[in-house]
């Protein structure tokens, strides 16, 4: 138990780092209504770009900015494959994921499956295991800023156009929205956030591995769904929806940490994410079966 409590700040830090990725997944999964598998590789791209840049002596913010842009480029590619080349969404994501895996390994990480931050840089990273409490504050500020920017952006004309595209793309085109463009932009923003999250993860760990981010989509979806289940009913306000993703991510990592502390075989970790998702997704369906009397009277007025 004491171990678990000691591990809690670490769990919250991880939850905050991954919440930025989960927000990216929220954009594709919830707003654009598509399943984008690019994220499994763009996470690693973000981490690798950030470490390479930092090892070359560039500042932390610049390294993270470039990681973000690299992720956006990945999302852009998936978007082009899907919209202008007519490749189905799932396949487009998988193809970019494969392309990126090679680029990550050969071009960014120079053939090494693992890349560590140089010693001299360790003091300067934004999130540092040795200074956990400070990391917590930095991360809180950063995630709040990301949520703020997303809240503003999806209230703008172009943001509304992206939301409309996800809700009904036929209607969107009839209202003059270029749905190819909005989908590509949404995918780019989503993967930019995923890569940003990867860059934070790499700094937190002090290294990036070519396998980092594998299964990221499951973790991100789990965070989104946990958030939706527990918090999204509080208010329909978009900011509340975004914060619920953040909380969902933190809860996921607390469950994860607890499971590890109580002796769950590490080999079961991915299954844990899947089980959490099954429980969360089936919860409303099962709950409905037991509360069938609590039906809301439908709107009977007709136009």
Partner 1 sequence: MLKINGVYKTFHPGTVSEKKAICGVDLHLKPGDFVTVIGGNGAGKSTLLNLVAGVFPADEGTITLDGINLTHMPEHKRAAYLGRVFQDPMTGTAATMEIHEHLALASRRGKRRGLGWGICRAEREDYFERLKTLDLGLENRMSQKVGTLSGGQRQALTLLMATMKQPKLLLLDEHTAALDPKTAQKVLTLTQKLIEDQNLTAMMVTHNMQDAITYGNRLIMMKDGTIILDIEGEEKKHLTVEILLEKFAQTSGSTFSSDRALLS
CB 208 within 8 A of CB 44: yes
What does the per-residue mask of binding to partner 1 show for 243-272, with x meaning CB under 8 A?
------------------------------
Q: Is residue 168 within the footprint of partner 1 (CB under 8 A)?
A: yes
Least distance (Å) from partner 1 to the CB of residue 115?
Answer: 37
Scanning 46-54, 79-87, 133-141, 177-185 for contacts with partner 1 by CB under 8 A, the matching segment is 177-185
Out of 82, 125, 163, 205, the only residue in the binding site for partner 1 (CB under 8 A) is: 163
d(CA 37, CA 141): 28
CB 165 within 8 A of CB 186: yes
Out of 75, 159, 192, 248, the only residue in the binding site for partner 1 (CB under 8 A) is: 159
Out of 132, 178, 229, 261, the only residue in the binding site for partner 1 (CB under 8 A) is: 178
Nearer to partner 1, 90 or 158 (CB): 158
Least distance (Å) from partner 1 to the CB of residue 30?
Answer: 10
The C-alpha angle with vertex 227 and arms to 201 and 296, in degrees rounded to 5, equals: 165
Q: Is residue 86 within the footprint of partner 1 (CB under 8 A)?
A: no
How many C-beta atoms lie closer than 10 Å to residue 85's C-beta?
9
Site for partner 1 in 179-218 (CB under 8 A): 179
d(CA 185, CA 168): 17
Q: Is residue 141 within the footprint of partner 1 (CB under 8 A)?
A: no
**80 to 103, 160, 186, 209, 290: CA distances (angstroms):** 18, 21, 12, 28, 45
Nearer to partner 1, 265 or 302 (CB): 302
**40 to 23, 67, 216: CA distances (angstroms):** 14, 15, 5
d(CA 50, CA 40): 17
| Residue 28 DSSP one-character state | I
Q: Is residue 119 within the footprint of partner 1 (CB under 8 A)?
A: no
Out of 145, 158, 278, 286, the only residue in the binding site for partner 1 (CB under 8 A) is: 158
Out of 61, 137, 157, 295, the only residue in the binding site for partner 1 (CB under 8 A) is: 157
Q: Is residue 237 within the footprint of partner 1 (CB under 8 A)?
A: no
Scanning 123-131, 162-170, 214-222, 259-267 for contacts with partner 1 by CB under 8 A, the matching segment is 162-170
Scanning 4-12, 19-27, 173-181, 205-213 for contacts with partner 1 by CB under 8 A, the matching segment is 173-181
The DSSP code sequence of 111-139 is T-SEEE--GGGGGG-SS-GGGHHHHHHHH
Q: Which 3 state secondary structure label does DSSP give 269?
A: helix
- For 130, the token pair is 């040795």
Q: Is residue 303 within the footprint of partner 1 (CB under 8 A)?
A: yes
- For 118, the token pair is 């140089």
Which residues contact partner 1 (rule: CB under 8 A)? 153, 155-161, 163-164, 167-168, 170-179, 299, 301-303
């Amino acid at each position: 138990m004491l171990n678990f409590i000691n591990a809690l700040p670490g769990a919250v830090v991880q939850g905050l780092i991954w919440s930025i990725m989960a927000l990216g997944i929220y954009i594709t999964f919830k707003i654009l209504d598509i399943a984008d598998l690019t994220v499994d590789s763009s996470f690693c791209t973000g981490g690798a770009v950030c470490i390479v840049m930092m090892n070359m002596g560039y500042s932390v913010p610049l390294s993270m900015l470039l990681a973000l842009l690299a992720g956006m480029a990945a999302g852009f590619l998936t978007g082009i494959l899907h919209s202008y080349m007519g490749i189905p969404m799932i396949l487009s994501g998988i193809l970019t994921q494969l392309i990126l895996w090679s680029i990550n390994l050969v071009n960014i990480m120079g053939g090494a499956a693992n890349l560590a931050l140089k010693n001299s840089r360790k003091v300067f990273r934004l999130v540092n295991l040795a200074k956990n409490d400070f990391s917590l504050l930095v991360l809180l500020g950063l995630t709040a800023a990301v949520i703020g920017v997303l809240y503003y952006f999806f209230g703008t004309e172009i943001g509304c156009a992206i939301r409309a595209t996800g809700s009904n793309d036929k209607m969107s085109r009839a209202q003059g929205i270029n749905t190819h463009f909005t989908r590509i932009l949404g995918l780019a923003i989503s993967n930019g956030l995923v890569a940003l999250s990867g860059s934070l993860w790499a700094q937190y760990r002090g290294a990036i591995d070519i396998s980092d981010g594998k299964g990221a989509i499951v973790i991100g979806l789990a965070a989104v769904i946990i958030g939706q289940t527990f918090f999204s009913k509080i208010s329909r306000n978009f900011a509340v929806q975004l914060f619920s993703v953040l909380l969902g991510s933190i809860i996921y990592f607390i469950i994860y940490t607890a499971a590890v502390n109580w002796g769950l075989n590490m080999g079961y970790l991915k299954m844990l994410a899947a089980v959490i998702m099954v429980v969360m997704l089936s919860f409303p369906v099962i709950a409905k079966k037991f509360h069938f009397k609590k039906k809301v009277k439908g709107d009977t007025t007709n136009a």
